[in-house]
Amino acid sequence: MIISIASGKGGTGKTTVATNLAFSLGKNVQIMDCDVEEPNSHLFLKPEIRERQAVIAPIPLINEFKCSYCKKCMEICRFGAIAVVGKKIITFPELCHSCGGCMAVCPEDAILENDRELGEIETGSIGDISFIHGRLKVGQVMSPPIIKKIRTLADKQMVNIIDAPPGTSCPVIAAMKGADFVLLVTEPTPFGLHDLTLAVETIKILNIPHGIVINRAGLGNNDVKEYAKKEGIPILMEIPFDKKIAQVYSRGELIVEKIPEYKDKFLDLFDQIKNLVNNLAKSPVKDIADKGAATK
Amino acid sequence: MRELVILSGKGGTGKTSLTAAFASFSSDMILCDADVDAADLHLLMAPDIQQKTDFQGGNEAIINPDKCTRCGLCIELCRFDAVKSTFEIDPIECEGCGVCYDLCPEKAIDFPVTTCGEWYISDTRFGPMVHARLGIAQENSGRLVALVRQEARKIVQKNKIDLILTDGPPGIGCPVIASMGQANAILIVAEPTISGIHDLARLAQLAAHFKIPAIVCVNKYDLNLDQTKAIKDLAKEKNITFAGVIPFDKNFTESMIQGKNIIETYENSQASIAVRKIWEKVMAQPAMNIERLI
Ligand code: SF4
Ligand code: SF4
């Protein structure tokens, strides 16, 4: 099973939920931190890292001896990553999306591909919990390939918990697509609600069952609950606004370790998710048809 | 023209609340919401939209089944696995590279421009504001960020405005890079947490990479004094100006619910006084006093 933990807005407690959920389960679980621009779950889980691999993407390498300056590569490149001016050809590797168009179109066979490092993926464990995270290299912009690479490491035998990046664009999609369930973490504030509605719209496009965790409950107002009710999205857990929890977080510690009664709450959260996913699995045809109609 | 970009690494540290509060301190500025993916500034600014424009962010391939002979070349060429075995294109996977469109031997692929969002020029009680909304599940947020900033610059030039206050996006990727080029300085709003420090360090590294001066302040500093000190130390080590600290204050959320900034609602609170001090310190920085060419 794959559970993706997301939120339209950053800083709502996604990582808190992902790490505490994984730790409460304790075994047969794998955490996959896909927030590759700012990965944080390792700070809480303190995994022992055993392997490191670079994530590589190709960029064009021009053989100027063969190049006839025909400009075909420049014309096909939709990302402005190649410029031919007179008898000069320049590439801008940061802009390249590695589509391979320039190489495919070059009539002189003058383009080869070279590797560029986008970032890295580290794997390891904390006790019986498997750990994977990715890290975008500072100054690089292509995070989706790193996320997609992490996703290939999902283990069907385990519960895979994805810590997704914030927002609603390509990196988030890469972290949610194909998940069995998306857990949305939000705050009961106007910003929290606004970003939650965007996240819900994203999930509707992907057609994935979802539920809400309200973090810092008690702060702000009741609008998130009303919205959830109106949309028929279950609220699966509330974590109260509590200075003690905030301090535990600030020190990079897990709530379930410092305030043990939370362990049962996270296990209960998991049971609810499991039931929701299983119930859907029992009536897939009807449900998907319903959902399709609802999103149209 | 000067521009201050307010960033936060992870988001959720109070970046937007702070940007909104700063708007109260200058009568000669324009607001720019560059957090196009999850824009929130408008919730505090009640913008009165004057102009609305579609954002045409890219293209998307579509196979015409009548012309397609199922030769399979597009499947082979597409590096993003966007062409399904049914010879349909998955719009979510399509990167818009146009390789299939250009190389299809039957010319069976269309490549229309897609509208990926909207951007707006608005009036607010503090002055003009440029903001945007990226469509759900769309690409090119970096390009929309660049566009919003460029439009803000046009207005600045036309109306001789002194300052652009830009609410930046989270992370350190494409949109963030697009939000800081050519800015006078970035102000990083950090939280005194282990993850906050980690995010700050990555963002500071990015700013150094692009040679943009960085300034840092700590929000909710009283949550963890040790971590606040650690941020101060890190700033010193990395040569980042430390602009001050803001205490945790429920009034930030209270103001948000009222659709106002904290200076408007609780001007004499500890938090408001701290915000004002930070503003003064930021604006006194040499980096903020260099005229930027448009
Ligand atoms: S691989 Fe694609 S994006 Fe990269 S330079 Fe070539 S045509 Fe441009
Ligand atoms: S435009 Fe590029 S990404 Fe989209 S389907 Fe064609 S080859 Fe694939």
A190 and B142 in contact by Cβ < 8 A?
Answer: no
Q: Which residue is it, tokens 């009548």?
A: B66
Give residue B116's pLDDT band: very low, low, confident or very high (50, 70, 90): confident
- Which whole number is the average pLDDT over B136-150? 86
B134 and A169 in contact by Cβ < 8 A?
Answer: yes
Amino acid found at A112: L
- The pLDDT mean for chain B works out to 93
Burial label for A223, CB within 10 Å (0-12, 13-18, 19+), is middle
Give residue A296's pLDDT band: very low, low, confident or very high (50, 70, 90): very low
pLDDT at A141: 83
pLDDT at A291: 43
Give residue B220's pLDDT band: very low, low, confident or very high (50, 70, 90): very high
B97 and A136 in contact by Cβ < 8 A?
Answer: no
A160 reaches B (C-beta below 8 A): no
Contacts of A202 in chain B (CB under 8 A): 136-137
pLDDT at A261: 93
A250 and B223 in contact by Cβ < 8 A?
Answer: yes
Question: Which tens digit of pLDDT belongs to each residue from A88-113?
Answer: 999 988 889 999 999 999 999 999 99
In chain B, the N- to C-terminal Cα span, in Å, equals 7
**What are the b/e assignments for A144-161, b being 16+ CB within 10 Å?**
bbbbbbbbeebeeebbbb
Q: Which of A138-142, A198-202, A256-260 has the least mean pLDDT?
A: A138-142
pLDDT at A281: 75
What is the percent of chain A with per-residue pLDDT over 90, rounded to a whole number? 81
Ligand 2 atom 8: the closest Cα is on which residue?
A: B78
Q: ipTM of the predicted structure?
A: 0.87
CB within 8 Å of chain B, chain A residues 59-88: 76, 78-79
Question: Which tens digit of pLDDT belongs to each residue from A16-35?
Answer: 999 999 999 999 999 999 99
- Which whole number is the average pLDDT over B45-66? 94
- Which whole number is the average pLDDT over B183-188? 96
| B97 Cβ closer than 6 Å to some ligand 2 atom | yes
Contacts of B227 in chain A (CB under 8 A): 250-251
Give residue A293's pLDDT band: very low, low, confident or very high (50, 70, 90): very low
Domains and CATH numbers, chain A: 2-54+120-295 (3.40.50.300), 64-109 (3.30.70.20)
pLDDT at residue B140 greater than cutoff 90: no
B228 reaches A (C-beta below 8 A): no
pLDDT at A184: 96
CA of B80 to the centre of ligand 2 (A): 7
A104 and B37 in contact by Cβ < 8 A?
Answer: no
pLDDT at B294: 62
**What are the b/e assignments for A8-41, b being 16+ CB within 10 Å?**
bbbbbbbbbbbbbbbbbbeeebbbbbbbbbbbbb
Question: Which tens digit of pLDDT belongs to each residue from A212-240?
Answer: 999 999 988 999 999 999 999 999 999 99
Give residue A288's pLDDT band: very low, low, confident or very high (50, 70, 90): very low
pLDDT at residue A289 greater than cutoff 60: no
pLDDT at residue B284 greater than cutoff 80: yes
Domains and CATH numbers, chain B: 2-56+117-289 (3.40.50.300), 61-111 (3.30.70.20)
Q: How far is CA A21 from the centre of its chain?
A: 16
Interface test with B, best of A106, A191, A215 (most B CBs within 10 A): A191
What is the percent of chain A with per-residue pLDDT over 70, rounded to a whole number? 95
A189 and B13 in contact by Cβ < 8 A?
Answer: no
pLDDT at A283: 59
Contacts of A177 in chain B (CB under 8 A): 92
Question: Which tens digit of pLDDT belongs to each residue from A73-90?
Answer: 999 999 889 999 989 999
CB within 8 Å of chain A, chain B residues 72-131: 77, 79-80, 92, 95-99, 102-103
pLDDT at A46: 96
pLDDT at A78: 92
- Tallying the residues shown for chain B, one arrives at 294
pLDDT at residue A51 greater than cutoff 70: yes
B258 reaches A (C-beta below 8 A): no
In angstroms, the CA A238 to CA A250 distance is 19
Strands (E), A63-141: 82-85, 88-91, 111-126, 129-136
Ligand 1 atom nearest to A58, measured from its CA: 1
In angstroms, the CA A148 to CA A152 distance is 7
A197 reaches B (C-beta below 8 A): no
A100 and B99 in contact by Cβ < 8 A?
Answer: yes
| A111 Cβ closer than 6 Å to some ligand 1 atom | no
CB within 8 Å of chain B, chain A residues 5-44: 8-12, 15, 37-38, 40, 43-44
- Which whole number is the average pLDDT over A198-218? 93
Contacts of A98 in chain B (CB under 8 A): 79
Question: Which tens digit of pLDDT belongs to each residue from B234-260?
Answer: 999 999 999 999 999 999 999 999 999
Name the DSSP letter for residue B183: -
